Chain A
Amino acid sequence: MASRLTTFGNDLYTGKRSFNFVGGRRKWYAIAAVLIILSVLVPVFRGFNFGIEFRGGSQFLISNVAEATQQPAIDAVASVVPDAVARVTIVGDDGVRVQTDQLEAAETREVTTALAEAYDVPESEITSSFVGASWGEDVTRQAIIGLIAFLLFAAIFMALYFRTWKMSAAAILSLFADLVVTAGIYAASGFEVSPAAMIGLLTILSYSLYDTVVVFDKIRENTSWEGDESRRTFPESVNLAVNQTLVRSINTSVVAALPVAAILFIGAFVLGADTLRDISLALLIGILVGTWSTVFIAAPMYSQFREGEPAIKRHDERVLKERGQATGSQEEPAAVGS
């Protein structure tokens, strides 16, 4: 059982079995490009489903109601603010969520009292939030500042650690793909964009980069001692590294995704744990997308960046030539790269 993946890992490690991540990059780029274009287009046409934090408004959450129906809430809100439109949703078995336009503080308290009466629960069971319209702007502005700062520092860190800006550039570019595609999935699925979801989005950047750093570390190791004598071309070395770390990538992604999925499951089915749901949803999508982008975008892109370097070009040409002489065509391993 377990060793099926282990054996698979062995084959990947030795190169017995190999996925052509680097060589097939045109295909992967094309897929990525389609995803990115869709991710940009979908929000243009559908827009994001922004949470109440971005629209501004008031929200009431009534827990432990005996009978979760919508009408009492609509009547209760109308009794206080006649012209307000109340959006009522039933959460779980015994919860009711009421969203209205922005109410005055005094109105908020009156509605709370009215709702408590309507559902026959103590006022302490009612959670109310009031969010000014500028709150979302604040969150967004801070998130964007945070995003830019993180990208900047991460790019510098990676350039220093890997001692090449090309790895850094490849990693950051694939990160953009993560961001855009995750945002696209949000728009397409109509998941609510809340501040918690934005935390999730920023966190997956870190996860995605984490994944990239691990894979790039192996790439660096594989390519650093490949001197002139190496029998692999540069793209082949990169591809081998990605394959060698593939089982690890799968394992870490699964292990990272499992607890997140657990939060999502609980958050989605248990009343009111919106924060849990929003964070975990963004994280889950992000972990999957982040693993994908490392393997299919970051690594091939890094290889592409370096292939043009004269030294690497010379090396690759010689390797291919020697291989042709020494082994003949039937021994030729799957040509990787261009």
Chain B
Amino acid sequence: MAAPSKRSSRPTSVRKAWRSLSWLGALIVALIAINTAGVLWAGGSWTPKLALDLEGGTQIILEPELAEGQTVSGEQLDQAVSILRQRVDASGVSEAEITTQGDRNIVVAIPGELDDETRQRIESSAKLELRPVILADVASTESVEPTDEADEEATDDAEATETPEPTDASDPAWVTDELQAEYDSFDCASIDEAEANRHPADEPLVTCDTTNTFKYLLGPVEVSGENIVDATNGMVQSSTGVSTGTWAVNLRFDEQGTEDFAEVSTRLFGLESPRNQFAFVLDGRIISAPSMNGIITDGRPQITGSFTQESSKALADQLKFGALPISFTVQSSDTISATLGSSQLQSGLIAGLIGLILVVIYTLFQYRALASVTIASLVVAGVITYLSITILSWYQGYRLSLAGVAALIVAIGFTADSFIVYFERVRDELRDGRALVGAVEAGWKRALRTVIASKAVNLLAAIVLFIFAVGSVRGFAFTLGLTTIIDVIVVILFTHPMLQLLAQTRFFSSGHSWSGLDPTALGAVYRGRAEFRKPAANVTKTKVASSTREAQRRQTIAERKAAELAAVGDTPSNEGKDS
């Protein structure tokens, strides 16, 4: 009875099957071509890059230090990332990865062993502020020399007035009785750097220099450290270009910094000491407080003093790399030994292999020969996943983490899930009395909708996890999302066409007891019902489908009786087959 439908659907379904398979072939060839191109010309590789937890290395997560109610902007984060990158690059570490995480944290990932110096560069929270000095116990010997000699004769237009409201940042009116008391009793040893860093920028600050020899009362922040574009050390040159033999630090401000600094230097120049000093405050401590020797409007001041080559270099580095827009603390720091990383990768792979074998055994048990389709589909999915991950790791900087490996293993089961949904649908159709070719087509139509809907839920979960997640969750979510998409591609372009083709073979269409699609085992007794309601030859396919359902629906009780009768009669033969 199945013969007519089989003959009529054979050419189309086979042609469709081969078309799908060629698309899949094209996809795989394209992926291989992209990867080959990457390997040949763009530094790609045939293995995915590994994340730190598999490769070994150090991962440091930095968290901004914020005062109550303060938030960190994306711009500030980006700025901090680029400054940190400079710091790490300056230490000669290659392949360091510095990324933002969520909307506040920064992750620094460095493969291999991390030396203490680099670690310190990263971990020093380093927020640089430029504040004018209002009071100081001892005047500093350092001074700022103008590089622009023409402005030497500028006047002091920022005369401090003794009004209760401070008019500018160097105004002694900032010093209230309370603040004066605090300053008088201030002990340099009591500086809490973390607190100093959170000190509001628009209020005065009492602090000391790094050696605790001088204490200062500083005005509000006038120039922020991120306005420093560059800081270098070098020999001071005379006007004729001859080296003077003294070391200095040359600063370069950006546009905003130039403007602000010009204003400050105009005001400070000519004020009596210590109010002509300008303090560079790093992490709440003064690293340098030179006095203003001129008015600088070109944004290129030079700091001179008793510098050696080393000390000038150190100050230049501090000014250059220390200029984070906001200070950070280390939130977590992981150092993973390389041997542990590789042993974790190994155990992940073993777990994956065991999982795969278990799934294969179970599907063989459940679906017999049909399991070969599952296994082949898993292999195809595996190949596509591997190629995709390798390409992404080359092109997008994806790194396979332990959580990613877990996602890949979990994906074995989730991928096989969609085959089971499909196979069970085909079996349902066989139970309804269809021939195999028709059952495969009808089962596919229903299964595809279910598979896509349920995979959409998985994908949604992966996307949400990826967007909102922190830490290793992201690698997991990304990998899970990727495998979900690949799963759907494989089901459509491989599993279904394979089943369409296999349905044409004698082994499967004859319902061999090992085919997994044996109509007898699937309740062949109900075929009697289909025969009873055998549709006329000229009826359309949908009509057949609906009338089959109709038959099933209307025959519930008679069906049950027939079933019971048949089941009784059929039992011995069934058992004979099974054992």
Chain A residues close to B by CB (< 8 Å) = 1-7, 9-10, 13-16, 53, 61, 63-64, 105, 108-109, 112, 124-132, 134-135, 138-139, 142-143, 145-146, 149-150, 153-154, 157-158, 161, 195-196, 198-199, 202-203, 205-207, 209-211, 213-214, 217-218, 221, 225-226, 229-232, 244-245, 247-248, 251-252, 254-263, 265-267, 270-273, 275-276, 279-280, 283, 327, 331
Contact = CB atoms under 8 A, between A and B. Distances in A.
A130 B332 contact: yes
What 8 pairs across the A-B complex have the smallest Cβ distances?
A259-B355, A206-B461, A146-B468, A256-B413, A262-B355, A10-B523, A266-B351, A258-B358
A10 B330 contact: no
Given A13-B428, A157-B460, 17 more contacts: A3-B574, A6-B522, A105-B330, A124-B339, A132-B63, A138-B63, A139-B470, A145-B468, A199-B472, A203-B465, A248-B420, A256-B413, A256-B414, A259-B359, A259-B409, A262-B351, A276-B405
Contacts of A158: 457
Contacts of A16: 560, 563-564, 567
Contacts of B472: 195-196, 199, 275
A252 B351 contact: no
**Highest count of chain B CB atoms <10 Å: which of A63, A146, A157, A262:** A262
Contacts of B556: 15, 231-232
Contact of B521 (A7, A209, A265): A7
Interface residues of B, number: 98
Given A132-B332, A149-B468, A273 B347 contact: yes
A311 to B, nearest CB: 19
Nearest to A229: B553
A287 B406 CA distance: 15
B275 to A, nearest CB: 38
Interface of B: 53, 56, 61, 63, 102, 105, 113, 116, 119, 123, 329-340, 343-344, 347-348, 350-352, 354-356, 358-359, 362-363, 365-368, 402-403, 405-406, 409-410, 412-414, 416-417, 420-421, 424, 427-428, 431, 446, 449-450, 453-458, 460-462, 464-465, 467-473, 476-477, 480, 518, 521-523, 526, 549, 553, 556-557, 559-560, 563-564, 567, 574, 577-578
Contact of A255 (B334, B359, B559): B359
Contact of B343 (A9, A15, A271): A271
A128 B406 contact: no
B574 A7 contact: yes
B449 A217 contact: yes
A240 to B, nearest CB: 10
Given A105-B333, A251-B366, A266-B350, A195 B63 contact: no
A252 B339 contact: no
Contact of A130 (B333, B340, B359, B469): B333
Nearest to A13: B431
Contact of A14 (B330, B402, B421, B526): B526
A153 B464 contact: yes
Contact of A150 (B123, B336, B412, B460): B460
A270 B457 contact: no
Nearest to A266: B351
B354 A255 contact: no
Given A203-B461, A203-B480, A214 B344 contact: no
A164 to B, nearest CB: 14
A216 B223 CA distance: 63
A262 B352 CA distance: 7
B362 to A, nearest CB: 6
12 contacts: A9-B424, A14-B431, A138-B105, A145-B468, A161-B453, A198-B473, A206-B462, A210-B458, A214-B450, A221-B446, A231-B557, A266-B351
Given A199-B469, A255-B359, A260 B413 contact: yes
Contacts of A112: 335
Contacts of B337: 63, 124-127
Given A214-B450, A275-B406, A199 B476 contact: yes
A2 B368 contact: yes
A263 B355 contact: yes
Contacts of A245: 424
A248 to B, nearest CB: 4
Contacts of B53: 275
A129 B332 contact: yes
Contacts of A244: 428
A13 B123 CA distance: 64
Given A153-B460, A217-B449, A252-B420, A13 B330 contact: no
A276 B347 contact: yes
Nearest to A156: B460
B340 A127 contact: yes
Given A6-B522, A221-B446, A64 B347 contact: no
A266 B428 CA distance: 37
Given A63-B340, A230-B553, A15 B560 contact: yes
A3 B517 CA distance: 11
A116 to B, nearest CB: 10
B521 A258 contact: no
Given A203-B461, A217-B453, A276-B351, A262 B358 contact: yes
Contact of B334 (A105, A128, A231, A261): A128
Contacts of B102: 138, 142
Contacts of A217: 449-450, 453-454
B473 A135 contact: no
A186 to B, nearest CB: 17
B86 to A, nearest CB: 21
B154 to A, nearest CB: 47
Contacts of A331: 557
Contacts of A270: 343-344, 347
B543 to A, nearest CB: 14
A260 B332 contact: no
Nearest to B361: A258
